[in-house]
Amino acid sequence: MNKALKNPITYIAFIIPTLLLYALFFCYPVIVSFIYGFFRWDGITEKVFIGFDNFVRLWDDEVFRKALLNNFYFMVFSLIVNIPLVFLISIIISKVRRMRDFYKSAVFVPVVISTATVAILFGVLYNYDSGLINQFIRLVAPESWAREWLSDPKLALLSILIANAWQNVGFFIVLCLAAILNIPKEIVEASKIDGVNGWQETWSITLPLVKPVLFVMLLLSVSGTMKVLDIVQIMTNGGPFQSTEVMATYMLKVGFRSMELGYGSAIGVAMFIIILVLTGILQRLTKSEEVQY
Amino acid sequence: MKKSITSMAVLLVSIMLVASACGGNNNGGNNKPANEGTDATNAPAETKAPEAKDVTLSLRHTQIKETSKTRLKILEDVVAKTQEENKGLTFKLEGIDEIVNRDQKLKAEMAAGNPPDIFEVFGGADLNLYVKAGRMLDLTPIIDELGIKDKFASLDEFTIDGKVYGLPFGGYSEAIFYNKKIFSELGLEIPTTWTQLLEISDKIKAAGYTPFGLAAKDGWVNGMMWNTVMERHVGIDAFSKVVSGEAKWTDENFVKGLTAYAELVNKDLFTKGALGLAYADQGAQLLSGKAAMVFTGTWDANRFSGDEAGDLKGQIGYFAFPSIEGGAGDQTSINASYSNGFGFSANLNEDQIAAVKKFIANFYTEEVQKRTLVEDKLLPSMKLSDLSGVDPLTTEILTVMANASSSWKAYDAIVQPAVGADINVGIQELIGKVSTPEKVAEKIQASQEKANAAQ
């Protein structure tokens, strides 16, 4: 047993399957997309090499710019609304003594539901005529307050963001909560003896100690929101008139609806680079010291 | 140590083998997929052919939904009959989702050169691409031999350079389904002119109903009515002319057509919040009695006369889109098309082609077509001599079809896919009242020029 563990072949044998899968389903597609990006290709007939034309076109493409901007909205929303909310709810749950497990499971339920289901559910809630939200508004306010949630270009993205937040917050809460509950009791007790109040405790003890988890959440949020596809695809399909288009839905449309696989690949490549750069910067920024209890 | 080096070497070699095998497949797939496919399908059949004549045909269909049960049953019956008549012949049926088949699976298989032996395919742009790549079996000799070529209502969508590459199993037309109850309650007549259409729509609206049920989330749904309004204004040839560059979307008549469509929007004749609704909602609005009319295709006839109609069962009718005074198009024409059909792989060997011939002979008969019409309310793709036993809605549909002066295929089968996508966005902008007909025309024209230049 010991001998086997010292043998490098053992390690290689264990990582090779993963590496192969990684190469086949990640490296290969990425490289091939880069190559396809230089062609005009409908997926079936001969490819035509057009150099950087696809990328030049991408640079001037208003829809892509709009889509990128929408991705940034997604990101900003999750950074300034979701993460503080997650932290707040986690603190509250960590303070509760009774039924803490119940709350923990309750916030996690939306995570378990598939995104497709969430999207359709919220689609029903947002329905102009019969949706619960408008029904409620009509009950307590004048008719004119009812909104076309998913078909008003000003509101559609926000409506999606809310649905998205509802689904994703639970996962982050569980992460954050675990970190909070992991803080050694002695520290909290010691601070109590020093006369720290609740607000100070949160601000100067809990927050710094869960920082690593917050960074993980940050990273997950950024990469998650930049590549978001499913919830937008199902709730609005990028509409109305492309006002909620994100990079991934636009890529899908260009590649498989308009059958411009070359241009679609170029969009994919752009996404790849943007996400890589963003997460790279974030990792640089957050390469901070280990937390010492 | 030595041992570990050898095993390391073995491992490396095996990795390289796996990797090169992958590479090899990919290269083959890209370079000469047709041959490879033929070899693969030929090999087993050829070795067995002399003794048992065992022939297997894979058949891909998309009739997997609850609503297409009857169509599947008809297909299965034909398959069973063909198998019974030809010992040793086996069909392998495989059902997958329509959109997955059309947009992903079949396209990927076509790219790789290994489509199923028999598959559902759309005429027009899709077929064009596959024929260009040499993936489709030329059916001209088969239908000539069977003598059924003249029996089809139209093979236009499947004919390229005089050769037939697919056979439609049904067709559709697009016009207005309406709620007869609301019409008689308000004392409305079926409109035959644009002015009348606007008049009755105002009345319907005043009575608290939605004149036109609409679900505008997916562009093609809005495209249907828009297409007919445009055709009335410009004539269908103009759509081909913008592709060839002889006409422009910004020409007067095109803008007039867009303005007419915008008029419907500005009078609030469509469902409120339509841009957020998926297609199924549109039919639901009609069947729930909220909307008095919907503009859609006859593929919904089965739904509209089925159990979902509830109280309205038998109360849904169909009329042709009214003529538009002063328009340049054919005022009594209809968007109708026979584009849903079966295609056959070019990889088939002789025995398989012989089996395909038997399948075609059994499937494309008046009897099967009649059964499809009666049970499934699908417009027959072949001319039928006997039309007894069809339900009232189908009769209305057939009457509308018979009264149409000409028929034409939809814009998205004429313009390039990228332009079609931009048209859909433009219509949505009109529905959302964020743009003007002139601006939309300019945008579509810009996209058209880009697509024309790329050709």
Residues β-bridged to residue B295:
B176
Q: In sequence order, which ranges of B156-274 are alpha helices (DSSP H)?
A: 180-185, 194-206, 219-234, 237-244, 252-266
Q: How confident is the model at residue B27 (pLDDT cuts 50, 70, 90)?
A: very low
Q: What is the DSSP letter of A143?
A: G
Residue of B nearest to A240 (CA): B275
Domain assignment of residue A94, given as a range: 61-285
Least CB-CB distance to B273: which of A12, A151, A253? A151
**Is residue B281 assigned to a domain?**
yes
Q: Which pLDDT belongs to residue B28?
A: 36
For residues B113 and B189, state if they share a domain: no
H/E/C letters for each residue in B144-163? HHHCCHHHECCCHHHEECCE
Cβ contacts (< 8 Å) between A43 and chain B: which residues? 107, 111
**Is residue A33 assigned to a domain?**
no
Confirm or reject contact between B106 and chain A (CB < 8 A): no
Instruction: Tell me the average pLDDT of chain B.
Output: 81
For residues B318 and B436, state if they share a domain: yes
Residue of A nearest to B7 (CA): A9
Question: How many other C-beta atoms lie within 10 A of the C-beta of residue B315?
Answer: 20
Work out the angle at residue A49's Cα, subtended by the Cα atoms of residues A43 and A54, and round it to the nearest 5 degrees: 80
**Is residue B38 assigned to a domain?**
no
Q: Which pLDDT belongs to residue B237?
A: 85
Give the DSSP H or E segment for B51.
helix B33-52
Chain centre to alpha carbon of residue B379:
13
**Is residue B399 assigned to a domain?**
no
Q: Among residues 214-273 of chain B, which lie with CB inside 8 Å of chain A?
A: 216-219, 271-273
For residues B152 and B178, state if they share a domain: no
Q: Using alpha carbons, select from A113, A146, A119, A144 the residue that is nearest to residue A132.
A: A146
Q: Which pLDDT belongs to residue B49?
A: 41
Placement of tokens 């499937």 in the chain: B363
Cβ–Cβ < 8 Å for B384, B366: yes
**Is residue B210 assigned to a domain?**
yes
**Is residue A187 assigned to a domain?**
yes
CA distance A274 to A68: 10
ipTM score for this prediction: 0.71
Q: Coil, strand, or helix at residue B60?
A: strand
The mean pLDDT of B86-112, rounded to a whole number, is 84
Q: Which pLDDT belongs to residue B9?
A: 53
For residues B345 and B380, state if they share a domain: yes
Cβ contacts (< 8 Å) between A9 and chain B: which residues? 4, 7-8, 11
Cβ–Cβ < 8 Å for B445, B437: no
CA distance B34 to A44: 12
Domain assignment of residue B115, given as a range: 47-171+337-392
Q: Which amino acid is at B187?
A: G
For residues B219 and B304, state if they share a domain: yes
**Is residue B24 assigned to a domain?**
no
For residues B230 and B94, state if they share a domain: no
**Is residue A185 assigned to a domain?**
yes
Q: How confident is the model at residue B294 (pLDDT cuts 50, 70, 90)?
A: very high
* B286 has a pLDDT exceeding 60: yes
**Is residue A14 assigned to a domain?**
no
For residues B190 and B138, state if they share a domain: no
Q: What is the CA radius of gyration of chain A?
A: 24
Q: What is the CA radius of gyration of chain B?
A: 25
Placement of tokens 């993980």 in the chain: A216
**Is residue A77 assigned to a domain?**
yes
CA distance B334 to B173: 7
CA distance A205 to A292: 12
Confirm or reject contact between A14 and chain B (CB < 8 A): no
Taking an 8 Å cut-off on Cβ atoms, the answer to whether B133 and A45 are in contact is yes
**Is residue B401 assigned to a domain?**
no
CATH number at residue A90: 1.10.3720.10
Cβ–Cβ < 8 Å for A101, A256: no
Give the DSSP H or E segment for B49.
helix B33-52
Cβ contacts (< 8 Å) between B18 and chain A: which residues? 20
Residues B248-279: pLDDT tens digits? 888 888 898 899 999 989 988 888 888 878 88
Taking an 8 Å cut-off on Cβ atoms, the answer to whether A236 and B276 are in contact is yes
Taking the model in full, what pTM does it have? 0.74
How many CA atoms, within 13 angstroms, populate the side-chain half-sphere of residue A278? Answer: 20
CA distance B97 to B102: 9
CATH number at residue B434: 3.40.190.10
**Is residue B444 assigned to a domain?**
yes
Residues A236-275: pLDDT tens digits? 888 788 888 899 989 988 887 777 888 889 999 999 999 8
For residues B177 and B278, state if they share a domain: yes
**Is residue B8 assigned to a domain?**
no
Q: What is the DSSP letter of B167?
A: E
User: What total number of domains does chain B contain?
Assistant: 2
Residues B32-53: pLDDT tens digits? 344 443 444 444 444 444 445 7
Sign of the alpha-carbon torsion through A249, B228, B328, B432 = negative
* A50 has a pLDDT exceeding 60: yes
Residues β-bridged to residue B173:
B336
Taking an 8 Å cut-off on Cβ atoms, the answer to whether B4 and A9 are in contact is yes
Chain centre to alpha carbon of residue A76:
11
**Is residue A262 assigned to a domain?**
yes
For residues B177 and B166, state if they share a domain: no
For residues B245 and B343, state if they share a domain: no
CA distance B35 to B214: 48
CB pairs under 8 A, 24+ apart, for A130-135?
A: none
Instruction: Tell me the average pLDDT of chain A.
Output: 85
**Alpha carbon distances (Å) from B67 to A3, B288, B302:** 64, 18, 8
For residues B145 and B243, state if they share a domain: no
* A11 has a pLDDT exceeding 80: yes
Burial class (CB in 10 A: 0-12, 13-18, 19+), B47: exposed
User: What total number of domains does chain A contain?
Assistant: 1
Question: How many other C-beta atoms lie within 10 A of the C-beta of residue A50?
Answer: 17
The nearest CA of chain B is from the CA of A237 a distance in Å of 7
**Is residue A55 assigned to a domain?**
no
Token pair of B386 as six digits? 């006997």
Q: What is the dihedral of CA B28, B31, B34, B35, to 10 degrees?
A: -60
Q: Which pLDDT belongs to residue B39?
A: 42
Residues β-bridged to residue B163:
B160
Q: Which of B131, B217, B416, B436 to mutate to probe the A interface, most A CBs <10 Å?
A: B217
Work out the angle at residue B99's Cα, subtended by the Cα atoms of residues A25 and A148, and round it to the nearest 5 degrees: 105
Using a pLDDT cut of 70, give the percent of chain B over it: 88
CA distance B239 to B448: 11
Using a pLDDT cut of 90, give the percent of chain B over it: 6
Non-local (6+) Cβ contacts of B106 within 8 A are: B60, B115, B119, B121
Token pair of A87 as six digits? 């932290």
Residues β-bridged to residue B382:
B152
For residues B318 and B227, state if they share a domain: yes
Q: How confident is the model at residue A22 (pLDDT cuts 50, 70, 90)?
A: very high
Q: Using alpha carbons, select from A232, A260, A273 the residue that is nearest to residue A39.
A: A260
Residues B154-208: pLDDT tens digits? 888 888 888 899 998 888 889 999 988 888 888 888 888 999 989 999 989 998 8
